[in-house]
Each structure stands twice: as structure tokens, then as C-alpha cells.
Structure 1
Amino acid sequence: MITLESKLLLLEHIFGTLGATRAEFNVDDLNRRSRRAISGLGATEEGHLRKHARRRDGSRRTTVVFSVTDDEWPAVRANIETKILERWNAGNKGGCSRSVFNGRLRRIPNLSQSQAP
């Protein structure tokens, strides 16, 4: 399971460091827990790739495609930060570590600006 802080760090890297315009998440339609988690971040459900792949058991898999664009990223980041704060305030449930959260959420620096020539 990927915690909220891991998702925040991953998306910060995608949009901040790499300068991507889009992050895409592909989730098995049977994995309701992952679908709820990605949707709960604020990602947009774009559609379903129906029966496009085989599972290990031989059955056909339908994939749900979610995305976050660079335009949506500030709102998604704020949503994730709020969820981290709520979990921290509820007794540090949900995997929030002091390395990312120490009394208040630290903004992760935008490395792409500091590394620019």
C-alpha cells in the first residue's frame, strides 16, 4: 500500500522535478480499494479499457484510467496535504512520518527551478 505521503512525494517529483504535464494511473476495475484511493486524491476518472489485457488467472482485465494534469495539480496537492494533516491530527494514523510532517507540512522544493542552467 502506498501512503498519502508517498503519493505526495511521487506527484511532486512528476510535476515539479520532471515538469510533466500529466500523471496517469491505471487500476484494475476489480480493485475497488485502489480506485477509491486514486479518486480520493482528486484524480479524474477518464474511462475504461474494456477487456484489454489478461490477468494471471487467464480472465480478461478491464482497466480504469485516472489522470492528474499540471493544471489540476495545485488543487490535488492541497487535497493530499489536507488529508495528511487530518490523519496526523487524528493520532498519526495512515502512515504520516515525521520526515515529511513535523508539526506542519513542509512544502517540498521545486527542484526543477533550482537545477535550471
Structure 2
Amino acid sequence: MGITKSEIFTEEQNNIAQIAKVFGHPARVAIIQHLFKIDSCVCGDLVNEIGLAQPTISQHLKELKKLGIIKGSIEGTSVCYCIDQDKWKSVKQIITQFLEQETGINNDCC
């Protein structure tokens, strides 16, 4: 497997790519939507809600947590996850700025 050479890209480009990668799997999108819907969650609930095996859900949670979109707290033998509101605002701002770019190119040229 080759290296990504992420160091040749700007911090903004790397941030957008990391966000896109996390959102690039429908299970992660479903997890985020579920967390917004109920405002907190125990991992076992996600297994029932999403319909994937516990290890698979755990791997997706790990990726979401690595980006910082979710945070978790230990409650006995369970971990309760929720959306990190500050990080979510940051992600929204980054993606919104990226998506609101205008080409400035006349559409007749292509």
C-alpha cells in the first residue's frame, strides 16, 4: 500500500478529506443520525438500531471518536456516546465553506 503524501496538502484540504472519509460510510452516517435523534446512546442500543455486529459498530464509533465528532463516557460496563457539539459546529463550518464555493466559470466553456 502506498503512502498518502498528506503533507503536500494544506491543513484545510486534509481536514475536509478526513471529514469526508468519516462520512463516507453509511453506518457512520446512521450512527450520527441516531445520536442526534436520541441525544445520547449506549453502544448496545446502536447494535439494535443499526443492525450491525457489536465489533463493527465499535470500529465505526472508533473512527467517529478519532475525528472528534462523538465523545463517550464510561457508565459501569457500558460507554455512553453523544455528539460533541463544539466539534460538530467546527465540522459544519468547514464543510459549509467548502460547499459554498462558487466556480466563477461560465458554464458554456465546458
TM over 0.5: no
Larger radius of gyration: 2
- Higher strand fraction (1 or 2): 1
Structure with the greater relative contact order (CA < 8 A, sep ≥ 6): 1 or 2? 1
TM-score, normalized by length of structure 1?
A: 0.33
